Structure 1
Amino acid sequence: METRRVPARSGTINAPRQAVKGPPLRSDGARLRVGFVLARKFTLCAFANFVDVLRLAADEGDRSRPILCNWSVLSATMDPVTSSCGVPVQPKERLGDPARFDYIVVVGGLMDEMSILGPAYVQFLADADAAGVPLVGVCSGAFLLHQAGFLDGYRCCVSWFHNADFLAQFEGLDPVADQIFVVDRNRLTCSGGASSAHLAAYLVDKHVGRAQASKSLHIMIIDDAHAAEKPQPGVTLDFRTRDPIVLRALLVMQQHLDTPPTVAEIARRAGLSKRRLERHFRAALDLSPQAAFLEIRLSHAHHLVTHSDKSVLQIALDCGFCDSSHLGRAFRRRFALTPLALRKGA
């Protein structure tokens, strides 16, 4: 089905990245109203984290009455939407007028099973955009917004796990895979998981108050709200290639950092011969698969050294090295200092 393309709003991607402020306090007392559009096989964790921050900020304690915040799952058909884990969610309202909300949030799901947004949803999002209602992409919801033409000219956040998928499928965008969320004017996107709670807390802080945002996260046993620039706790690929074979192999590498498979095993998982995989890596990256895998593991080790309290030994094991000495030698060759020296300097 052909999706509607919506022109980007004026301004450059370096414009101040602030969300459009929603309407003032309404007669019903709500300061923040959010409408949710759930994709088929949406990620339940990302949706639940976002909603729970709103729920806990909306009332005293954890009484959960939608007083200061209000939220609703929207649908064109009112049919239940099944999440990626099999739990269905029943929509509460039909799409209707998007102007009754301060934000419209699109929650994505499994890449292989998530269908594109239907015409009714694309029109609803276009009406929201025309009414000045910011659009939010949660988890792979950024893919759906881009497919429908709503991210042209905007920065967007994707999970490090799906960064290769985004690069392979979409042109004209530079996805951000090293932050937990991105606010670029009237587009807000986050990587999913716990970052959904932090993006929701950002909105609660903006429209309801910092105390309510902090309270929500504390009740959910989450650390204080993180800024958008907080790094994602994962591996970001710096390799720039659109070769689908190389991207698929890199994803296999990302998923097996602690127990590195051989190049032959990676090739088998990608459905190729070892020699053909090596040719693709040389052509796309001017690296062997072994060198690329080592770079990924060392980059992740660097991230853990600077952003975690794990011991160097544990980091070594998490990144597929035999011990701390093995990691130390490779780390020094790559970064010109040892993990301990880097941590001490940081």
Structure 2
Amino acid sequence: MLTVGFALPPGFQIMGLAPVSAFELANIVAGETLYCIRLLSEHGGAVANSFGVPLETRPLQRQRLDTLIVAGLLSPAPTSTGLLKQIRKSAGVSRRIASVCTGAFLLGEAGLLDGRRVTTHWFYARELQKQFPDAHVEDDRIFIIDGNVWTSAGMSAGVDLALGMIEKDFGVDLSRGVARQLVVHHRRAGGQSQHSALLELDPKSDRIQSALAYARKNLRLPLTVETLAEAAHLSPRQFSRAFRSETGQSPAKAVEQLRVEAARVMIEQSRNTMDEVAVETGFADPERMRRAFLRAFGEPPQVIRRNARRSAV
């Protein structure tokens, strides 16, 4: 049985405990107690969360843990030296240590991020880099594993982090089973973007939303303006005008975003060749895909695959 402790600073954001559900369900799906969960704080006792509701905790310094996960605050704030000392000590004896969202700032204050690739919520990534210049902050990752230190993006990414841990500990089948119980897609790869092309486009009308949904399901097709206009039940001229008005982009640019997003997931999560990924996502050939990746990410697909595999080690 693996003991997973959650270090809770006063005022911690309640979604920082979302990973608890993944570990709880791992026990249920497996039919045995694989994980023991401990809620911890500097002194033990009641600790209020961001809602003002207190939770009972145990003193962190008295625990022997396999994994310590540090919860974050709604916005970064200095932490007591006592809690930082306990986090630092636990990191030295636990198999792994992790943070959810702005919990990365606590790891930084404890001196645990120097020289490591890390992430946090994109909104606070620049501040994290500014405060801890010896860390290598990547602001567009769901979670990152560097040695025994795991860091995740915004609060919901803590679930992806927990699913990644379950997969590492007990295999992909259990992780998928837990994901199904949580009614989420199987965990997003750590290197996957924090941003979604559809969210960025944010169309207002049902017709433009329908066209984008059609495009996302049919990336292998040519997806011309005429094809998308038909899906939206508009003339090509009406569609192009409405699309640009609602999204600020041309249909061609938006389709490229969707293809790049889908291709990146395949590159990070599968063993498909670059030729296969290019065909499946509608780029037709690897060179066109490479140019699109350079425009979108500033890196070619091969570098992104290499980084994803390095993070998974």
- TM bin, normalised by shorter chain, reads 0.5 to 0.7
Aligned residue number for residue 79 of structure 2: 117
Determine which of 166, 180, 195 is the counterpart of 2:157. 195
Distance 2:246 2:94 in 1: 51
Q: Which runs of 5+ in 1 are unaligned?
A: 1-29, 236-253, 260-303, 315-320
What is the aligned-residue identity percentage?
24
Q: Does 1:85 align with 2:4?
A: no
Distance 2:41 2:10 in 1: 12
Name the aligned partner's letter for residue 156 of structure 2. Answer: A
- Contact 2:104–2:119 at 8 Å: present in 1 too? yes
Deviation digits for residues 1-57 of structure 1 (CA, Å, limit 9, x no counterpart): xxxxxxxxxxxxxxxxxxxxxxxxxxxxx1x2211101222221231x200000010
Distance 2:102 2:176 in 1: 26
Q: Does 1:36 align with 2:6?
A: yes
Counterpart mapping for 1:197-216 below 5 A: 197-216=159-178
Determine which of 107, 111, 120 is the counterpart of 1:158. 120
Distance 1:340 1:59, change over 3 A: closer
- Contact 2:41–2:47 at 8 Å: present in 1 too? no
Distance 1:221 1:82 in 2: 29
Counterpart mapping for 1:14-53 below 5 A: 30=1, 32-47=2-17, 49-53=18-22
1:143 positional shift: 0.9
Q: Does 1:54 align with 2:23?
A: yes
- Contact 2:97–2:149 at 8 Å: present in 1 too? yes
Q: Does 1:102 align with 2:66?
A: yes
Distance 1:140 1:83 in 2: 14
Deviation digits for residues 55-93 of structure 1 (CA, Å, limit 9, x no counterpart): 0101347x8x7x1111101123223222223332211x2
- Contact 1:44–1:85 at 8 Å: present in 2 too? yes
Aligned residue number for residue 147 of structure 2: 185
Aligned residue number for residue 146 of structure 1: 108
Tell me: higher relative CO, structure 1 or 2? Use CA pairs within 8 A at least 6 residues apart: 1
Q: Which runs of 5+ in 2 are unaligned?
A: 204-211, 219-227, 233-239, 260-281, 284-288, 290-313
The structure with the greater share of residues assigned to helix is 2
1:179 positional shift: 1.3
- Contact 1:138–1:196 at 8 Å: present in 2 too? yes
1:157 positional shift: 1.0
Aligned residue number for residue 279 of structure 2: none
Deviation digits for residues 101-146 of structure 1 (CA, Å, limit 9, x no counterpart): 11111101121xx543323322222222332532211110001111
- Contact 1:178–1:231 at 8 Å: present in 2 too? yes
Aligned residue number for residue 273 of structure 2: none
Name the aligned partner's letter for residue 28 of structure 2. Answer: D
1:326 positional shift: 4.3
Distance 2:82 2:256 in 1: 56
Distance 1:233 1:102 in 2: 31
Aligned residue number for residue 183 of structure 2: 221
Distance 1:327 1:139, change over 3 A: same
Q: Secondary structure at the match of 2:144?
A: strand
Distance 1:186 1:57 in 2: 21
Q: Secondary structure at the match of 2:68?
A: strand
Distance 1:133 1:340, change over 3 A: closer
Q: Does 1:75 align with 2:16?
A: no
Distance 2:167 2:174 in 1: 7
Distance 1:205 1:328 in 2: 38
Query: RMSD between aligned alpha carbons?
Result: 3.6
Distance 1:165 1:322, change over 3 A: farther
